[in-house]
Structure 1
Amino acid sequence: MENISPHHPQKIPEDLKTYAREMRKTMPDAEQLLWYLLRNRRVAGAKFRRQHPVGSYILDFYCVEKKLAVELDGGQHSEQQNYDQQRDAYLEQQGIEVLRFWNNQMLLETEAVLESIYLNLVGNNPSPASGRGAGVRAVK
């Protein structure tokens, strides 16, 4: 499979760009909170982009310098685990690490989510918990 750089050297399909723009306008509460906390290099000085296209996927939050994606999942993700696994495998092939959190974790355990993101950014990756319901799941 070809290695697609997340820096957009290839043209992004217009429909994907339009969809990413629409998703930026309609972020759920958990994504709005995380964006408020990540924007302007507030965590470990890392620059994040929101709703960032990579290949044919759109990442919720992406730090280009660290090749770190942060995904917030709602209830629909419990029914689309195969899709998420394929997506994560593709991103892993691109050298992108994926951290996944449930929306309710972001809202109820904000400090723990930020700590996990911070530790991954500074290179002290915590051991990922097994399964989605147990906390963060990092794809390496």
Structure 2
Amino acid sequence: MNELRIRFGRDYEQPTAVPMLTEAYNLPAKKVIHIVGPIVQYRLTPELEKDLENCYRNTLDMCAENDLKSVAFCCISTGVFHFPNKRAAEIAVKTVSEWLCDNPGKVERVIFNVFKDEDKAIYEKLI
């Protein structure tokens, strides 16, 4: 991010749904993909839903482009970004499932990493 701020100015912010690949350093992973999800300020709109879909799709595309065979997703945009948990999970599961069908063998393992029991229950129903 510092390199991007040097290049584009100190006020540079990562755009929504544009992934950024970095080294994982001391984490038990090869790489880390950072992505900014949409922020729901007043109400959920189709544009925000499309932005969230693009977060998952663009991240999977980046995995394929960099020969990364597994990826773990957090609940993108839920929490302080106010995306409704159930709708976010529906978008995540649908988008990832479609991408995997359209790109067989490019990513072998996808993990939905949840922190709340509420999210765990939602994902278990969807998967």
TM more than 0.5 = no
Give the TM-score category using the shorter length.
0.3 to 0.5
Q: TM-score, normalised by structure 1?
A: 0.34
